Amino acid sequence: MAGPQWENLPEPRQERPVPSLRAGWQGFTVDPRPPANQGLRAADADRDYATRLVEQARLDGRLTVAEADERAGRASGSRTLGELLPLVGDLMAVSADASFAHRDRGRRFMRGGAMGWVGLALLFNAIWIMTSLSAGRPAYYWPMWPLFFMGLPLVMSMFANRGQGQPPRQEQPRQLPPGDDLR
Protein backbone atom coordinates (compact mmCIF):
# COMPACT_ATOMS: atom_id res chain seq x y z
CA MET A 1 0.00 0.00 0.00
CA ALA A 2 1.56 3.24 -1.14
CA GLY A 3 -0.46 5.72 0.92
CA PRO A 4 -3.69 6.35 2.73
CA GLN A 5 -6.71 4.60 1.30
CA TRP A 6 -8.54 7.82 0.52
CA GLU A 7 -5.92 9.41 -1.68
CA ASN A 8 -7.74 8.27 -4.85
CA LEU A 9 -11.03 9.90 -3.89
CA PRO A 10 -12.21 12.78 -6.09
CA GLU A 11 -11.84 16.34 -4.92
CA PRO A 12 -14.89 17.68 -3.06
CA ARG A 13 -17.23 19.74 -5.17
CA GLN A 14 -17.67 23.43 -4.62
CA GLU A 15 -20.95 24.36 -2.97
CA ARG A 16 -23.47 25.16 -5.65
CA PRO A 17 -25.82 28.06 -5.04
CA VAL A 18 -29.28 26.97 -4.04
CA PRO A 19 -31.69 27.62 -6.90
CA SER A 20 -34.42 30.14 -6.25
CA LEU A 21 -37.29 28.50 -4.42
CA ARG A 22 -40.73 29.19 -5.73
CA ALA A 23 -42.79 29.89 -2.64
CA GLY A 24 -46.10 28.12 -2.51
CA TRP A 25 -48.28 26.25 -0.07
CA GLN A 26 -48.08 23.11 -2.22
CA GLY A 27 -44.54 22.56 -0.90
CA PHE A 28 -45.94 21.38 2.44
CA THR A 29 -47.19 17.84 2.88
CA VAL A 30 -50.56 19.31 3.94
CA ASP A 31 -51.66 22.93 3.48
CA PRO A 32 -51.18 24.54 6.93
CA ARG A 33 -53.69 27.36 6.34
CA PRO A 34 -56.99 25.59 7.10
CA PRO A 35 -57.69 25.55 10.84
CA ALA A 36 -58.35 21.81 10.72
CA ASN A 37 -54.77 21.19 9.54
CA GLN A 38 -53.01 23.50 12.00
CA GLY A 39 -53.05 20.95 14.80
CA LEU A 40 -51.45 18.23 12.66
CA ARG A 41 -47.90 17.20 13.42
CA ALA A 42 -45.33 18.70 11.08
CA ALA A 43 -43.18 16.28 9.12
CA ASP A 44 -39.45 16.69 8.64
CA ALA A 45 -40.20 17.69 5.06
CA ASP A 46 -42.50 20.48 6.30
CA ARG A 47 -39.85 21.85 8.66
CA ASP A 48 -37.22 21.61 5.92
CA TYR A 49 -39.47 23.40 3.41
CA ALA A 50 -40.22 26.19 5.90
CA THR A 51 -36.51 26.59 6.62
CA ARG A 52 -35.75 26.77 2.89
CA LEU A 53 -38.48 29.42 2.45
CA VAL A 54 -36.95 31.49 5.24
CA GLU A 55 -33.45 31.11 3.75
CA GLN A 56 -34.72 32.11 0.31
CA ALA A 57 -36.40 35.18 1.79
CA ARG A 58 -33.08 36.10 3.44
CA LEU A 59 -31.25 35.68 0.12
CA ASP A 60 -33.89 37.84 -1.59
CA GLY A 61 -33.36 40.57 1.02
CA ARG A 62 -36.81 40.30 2.56
CA LEU A 63 -35.48 39.20 5.96
CA THR A 64 -32.47 40.29 7.94
CA VAL A 65 -29.92 37.68 8.93
CA ALA A 66 -31.02 37.82 12.57
CA GLU A 67 -34.69 37.48 11.70
CA ALA A 68 -33.98 34.61 9.30
CA ASP A 69 -31.91 32.78 11.93
CA GLU A 70 -34.64 33.23 14.53
CA ARG A 71 -37.36 32.01 12.15
CA ALA A 72 -35.27 29.06 10.93
CA GLY A 73 -34.62 28.02 14.53
CA ARG A 74 -38.31 28.18 15.36
CA ALA A 75 -39.16 26.28 12.16
CA SER A 76 -36.75 23.45 12.93
CA GLY A 77 -38.18 23.15 16.45
CA SER A 78 -41.84 23.32 15.47
CA ARG A 79 -44.13 20.42 16.23
CA THR A 80 -47.32 21.31 14.37
CA LEU A 81 -48.18 22.87 11.03
CA GLY A 82 -49.87 25.72 12.91
CA GLU A 83 -46.49 26.72 14.35
CA LEU A 84 -45.02 26.94 10.84
CA LEU A 85 -47.81 29.14 9.48
CA PRO A 86 -46.77 32.46 11.12
CA LEU A 87 -43.13 31.82 10.26
CA VAL A 88 -43.67 31.64 6.50
CA GLY A 89 -47.13 33.15 5.98
CA ASP A 90 -45.81 36.62 5.22
CA LEU A 91 -43.18 35.21 2.84
CA MET A 92 -45.67 33.71 0.40
CA ALA A 93 -45.90 36.15 -2.47
CA VAL A 94 -48.75 35.58 -4.88
CA SER A 95 -47.95 36.92 -8.30
CA ALA A 96 -50.63 38.72 -10.27
CA ASP A 97 -50.64 36.08 -12.97
CA ALA A 98 -50.66 33.07 -10.62
CA SER A 99 -54.45 32.85 -10.75
CA PHE A 100 -54.30 32.61 -14.52
CA ALA A 101 -51.63 29.89 -14.62
CA HIS A 102 -54.11 27.07 -14.08
CA ARG A 103 -56.48 28.42 -16.70
CA ASP A 104 -53.61 28.92 -19.17
CA ARG A 105 -52.46 25.34 -18.59
CA GLY A 106 -55.97 24.13 -19.45
CA ARG A 107 -55.98 26.16 -22.64
CA ARG A 108 -52.60 24.76 -23.68
CA PHE A 109 -53.87 21.25 -23.01
CA MET A 110 -56.96 21.88 -25.10
CA ARG A 111 -54.94 23.43 -27.92
CA GLY A 112 -52.47 20.53 -27.90
CA GLY A 113 -55.26 17.96 -27.75
CA ALA A 114 -57.15 19.60 -30.58
CA MET A 115 -54.04 19.80 -32.73
CA GLY A 116 -53.27 16.14 -32.04
CA TRP A 117 -56.82 15.15 -32.97
CA VAL A 118 -56.66 17.18 -36.20
CA GLY A 119 -53.31 15.62 -37.09
CA LEU A 120 -54.64 12.10 -36.58
CA ALA A 121 -57.81 12.96 -38.50
CA LEU A 122 -55.68 14.01 -41.46
CA LEU A 123 -53.58 10.87 -41.23
CA PHE A 124 -56.56 8.51 -40.91
CA ASN A 125 -58.42 10.21 -43.75
CA ALA A 126 -55.33 10.06 -45.98
CA ILE A 127 -55.07 6.32 -45.30
CA TRP A 128 -58.79 5.88 -46.01
CA ILE A 129 -58.54 7.85 -49.28
CA MET A 130 -55.50 5.83 -50.43
CA THR A 131 -57.20 2.51 -49.70
CA SER A 132 -60.38 3.68 -51.42
CA LEU A 133 -58.42 4.79 -54.50
CA SER A 134 -56.44 1.55 -54.65
CA ALA A 135 -59.65 -0.50 -54.34
CA GLY A 136 -61.33 1.51 -57.10
CA ARG A 137 -64.40 2.20 -54.98
CA PRO A 138 -65.13 4.02 -51.71
CA ALA A 139 -64.26 1.79 -48.76
CA TYR A 140 -66.11 1.70 -45.46
CA TYR A 141 -65.39 4.95 -43.62
CA TRP A 142 -63.58 3.44 -40.64
CA PRO A 143 -61.83 6.70 -39.45
CA MET A 144 -65.07 7.84 -37.82
CA TRP A 145 -64.62 5.34 -34.97
CA PRO A 146 -61.12 6.20 -33.74
CA LEU A 147 -61.75 9.90 -34.30
CA PHE A 148 -64.98 9.75 -32.31
CA PHE A 149 -63.43 7.91 -29.38
CA MET A 150 -60.33 10.12 -29.40
CA GLY A 151 -62.39 13.30 -29.65
CA LEU A 152 -64.77 12.33 -26.85
CA PRO A 153 -62.29 13.05 -24.00
CA LEU A 154 -61.37 16.31 -25.71
CA VAL A 155 -64.99 17.45 -25.79
CA MET A 156 -65.52 16.28 -22.20
CA SER A 157 -62.51 18.27 -21.00
CA MET A 158 -63.84 21.36 -22.79
CA PHE A 159 -67.01 21.18 -20.71
CA ALA A 160 -65.09 20.34 -17.54
CA ASN A 161 -62.82 23.39 -17.93
CA ARG A 162 -65.60 25.92 -18.49
CA GLY A 163 -65.55 27.43 -14.97
CA GLN A 164 -61.79 27.80 -14.60
CA GLY A 165 -61.84 31.58 -14.47
CA GLN A 166 -63.76 31.52 -11.18
CA PRO A 167 -61.98 31.33 -7.84
CA PRO A 168 -62.11 27.91 -6.16
CA ARG A 169 -64.84 27.40 -3.60
CA GLN A 170 -63.73 27.28 0.01
CA GLU A 171 -65.14 24.27 1.81
CA GLN A 172 -66.40 24.94 5.29
CA PRO A 173 -65.03 22.54 7.90
CA ARG A 174 -67.63 20.05 9.05
CA GLN A 175 -68.75 20.33 12.64
CA LEU A 176 -70.43 17.75 14.78
CA PRO A 177 -73.96 18.48 15.91
CA PRO A 178 -74.22 19.72 19.50
CA GLY A 179 -74.27 16.97 22.10
CA ASP A 180 -72.12 14.51 20.13
CA ASP A 181 -68.97 14.93 22.17
CA LEU A 182 -66.55 12.15 21.22
CA ARG A 183 -64.19 12.48 24.18
C-alpha torsion angle, residues 171, 175, 177, 183 (rounded to 10): 160
Bridge partner list, 41? 80
Give 10-residue mean pLDDT values along the chain (183 residues).
64 58 78 90 91 90 92 93 91 56 68 90 95 93 94 84 56 58 52
Residues 128, 133, 137, 143, Cα dihedral to 10°: 0
The domain limits of the chain are 25-91, 98-160
pLDDT of residue 142: 95
Position 155 scores a pLDDT of 86
Number of H helices, E strands in the chain: 5, 0
Specify the pLDDT at position 144: 95
pLDDT at 96: 43
> Bridge-partner residues for 80, per DSSP?
41
- Residue 156, H or E segment: helix 144-160
> Is 80 strand, coil or helix?
strand
Residue 41, SS3?
Answer: strand
pTM: 0.44
Catalogue the E-assigned strands of the chain.
Answer: none
3-state secondary structure of 99: helix
pLDDT of residue 95: 45
CA pair distance 41, 62, nearest whole angstrom: 28
Looking at residue 41, its pLDDT comes to 93
- Predicted confidence at residue 158, as pLDDT, reads 78
The predicted pLDDT at position 86 comes to: 92
User: What's the N-to-C CA distance of the chain in angstroms?
Assistant: 70
Cα separation, 170 vs 36, whole angstroms = 13
Q: Are 23 and 91 in contact (CB under 8 A)?
A: yes
- Say how many residues make up the chain: 183
